[in-house]
């Protein structure tokens, strides 16, 4: 079984951090830090462990933030231009997982020292990522922070450039949400525009993830950006756009599909049959479909389906599922069968009663049929 992520914040890592933090100064109390950071560590989850180490740092570091910053800088490993390892226990300095609590310390305690803290974020992200800590600054001083990020757009270190896109994600998982950019992502989009053709896939992937975040609140805007970016796009940018549109494509967003070359379909849905009109929970829903082209040229088709699940109050709620991506020839035809699993999962509660199957082709609804779900 793979090692749980939370165990990267181990007693061994904390002892290693204490050694690096106390190596070049007399202001840091390593014993107090180790005791506080390790307290009942085995009972804590990953984020709780990181927070406890951050709190231990705050107690052990000097109250003078400038002196604390010197200690943090002196504890870091040599900066890297390669993809980082997150094992992080070594004799070179703190890197990988060990940087995460340091970044949070800067985010929580460094707002009054903006320039110094931004320098710390830049240095720390070269050893891990400052994407979580910098969000405190993006909330407190968004314009000043964005202006600083703009000066980093051409930085030679790939981790610094990635921080620009990853740190500004409006809905970064595990991170503090950025309400101002959820509401108005324009300042973030300007940064992404400058990074869309970055030489590194690591950065471009982050740009795509940021756009996918923005699409949750501004789907039409992201679809338009994708359409604009497709003009003159090379292979790398096209890959970025496809990844950025993944949620919209799954939802069948027509303009997002159009940006990827999926135009209005010219097809006839000749047959749709639910084989299992009554489905007992735990068994699959089986259905068949056949369609034919009415176009005189090849056409790209993305075929999805939605299951409209019965809810506790008797209404239904749709959930979209991917099915097929095909290139249909003129006068071509497609026959397909699907077995959709209906079983216990954590993301959906099932209730007995009528459910609906809906077929979508390039984001357009073509047919709906009903089946009955029984719970045994």
* pLDDT tens per residue, range 40-74: 999 999 999 999 999 999 999 999 999 999 999 99
Distances in Å between the Cα of 141 and the Cα atoms of 114, 271, 296 are 9, 58, 56
* CATH code assigned at 165: 1.25.40.290
- Chunk the chain into consecutive blocks of 10 residues (it has 376) and report each block's average pLDDT, rounded to whole numbers: 76 94 84 96 94 96 94 88 58 90 97 98 95 97 98 96 98 95 98 98 98 97 98 97 93 90 93 95 96 95 94 89 94 96 88 95 93 91
**Final residue belonging to a domain, choices 259, 277, 306:** 259
Q: How many domains does the chain have?
A: 2
Domain check: are 63 and 160 in the same one?
yes
pLDDT value of position 168: 98
Burial of 276 (0-12, 13-18, 19+ CB in 10 A): middle
Domain check: are 294 and 338 in the same one?
yes
Strands 316-328 and 267-274: unpaired
- Please state the length of the chain: 376
Domain check: are 367 and 283 in the same one?
yes
Distances in Å between the Cα of 110 and the Cα atoms of 64, 133, 326 are 11, 10, 53
Q: Are 351 and 363 in contact (CB under 8 A)?
A: no
pLDDT value of position 81: 56
Cβ atoms within 10 Å, residue 232: 6
What gap in Å lies between CA 244 and CA 233, rounded to an integer?
14
pLDDT value of position 1: 45
pLDDT value of position 181: 98
Domain check: are 219 and 310 in the same one?
no
Domain check: are 244 and 310 in the same one?
no
**Final residue belonging to a domain, choices 209, 232, 259:** 259
Domain check: are 52 and 109 in the same one?
yes
What gap in Å lies between CA 21 and CA 226, rounded to an integer?
46
**Final residue belonging to a domain, choices 259, 284, 316:** 259
Domain around 120: 5-259
Domain check: are 212 and 343 in the same one?
no
pLDDT value of position 84: 55
pLDDT value of position 98: 92
Residue spans of alpha helices (H) in 231-316? 235-244, 246-251, 254-259
């Amino acid at each position: 079984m793979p090692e749980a992520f939370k165990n990267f914040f181990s007693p061994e890592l904390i002892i290693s951090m204490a050694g690096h933090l106390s190596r070049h100064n007399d202001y840091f109390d390593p014993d107090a830090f180790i005791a506080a950071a390790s307290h009942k560590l085995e009972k804590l989850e990953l984020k709780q462990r990181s927070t406890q180490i951050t709190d231990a740092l705050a107690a052990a570091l000097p109250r003078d933030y400038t002196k604390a910053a010197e200690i943090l800088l002196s504890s870091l490993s040599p900066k890297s231009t390669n993809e980082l390892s997150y094992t992080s226990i070594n004799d070179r300095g703190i890197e990988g997982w060990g940087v995460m609590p340091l970044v949070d310390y800067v985010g929580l305690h460094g707002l009054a020292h903006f320039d110094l803290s931004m320098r710390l974020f830049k240095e720390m992200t070269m050893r891990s990522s400052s994407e979580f800590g910098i969000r405190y600054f993006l909330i407190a001083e968004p314009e000043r922070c964005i202006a600083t990020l703009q000066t980093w757009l051409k930085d030679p270190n790939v981790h610094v450039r990635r921080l620009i896109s990853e740190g500004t994600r409006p809905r970064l998982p595990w991170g503090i949400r950025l309400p101002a950019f959820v509401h108005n992502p324009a300042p973030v989009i300007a940064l992404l525009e400058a990074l869309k053709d970055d030489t590194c896939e690591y950065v471009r992937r982050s740009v795509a993830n940021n756009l996918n975040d923005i699409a949750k609140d501004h789907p039409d805007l992201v679809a338009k950006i994708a359409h604009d970016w497709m003009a003159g796009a090379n292979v790398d940018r096209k890959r970025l756009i496809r990844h950025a549109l993944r949620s919209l494509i799954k939802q069948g967003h027509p303009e997002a599909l159009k940006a990827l070359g999926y135009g209005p379909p010219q097809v006839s849905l000749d047959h749709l049959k639910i084989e299992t009109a009554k489905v007992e929970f735990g068994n699959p829903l089986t259905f068949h479909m056949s369609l034919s082209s009415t176009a005189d040229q090849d056409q790209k088709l993305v075929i999805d389906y939605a299951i409209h699940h019965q809810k506790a109050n008797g209404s239904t709620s749709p959930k979209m599922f991917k099915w097929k991506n095909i290139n249909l020839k003129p006068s071509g035809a497609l026959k397909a069968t699907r077995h959709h699993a209906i079983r216990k999962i954590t993301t959906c509660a099932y209730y007995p009663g009528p459910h609906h199957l809906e077929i979508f082709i390039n984001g357009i609804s073509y047919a709906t049929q009903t089946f009955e779900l029984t719970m045994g």
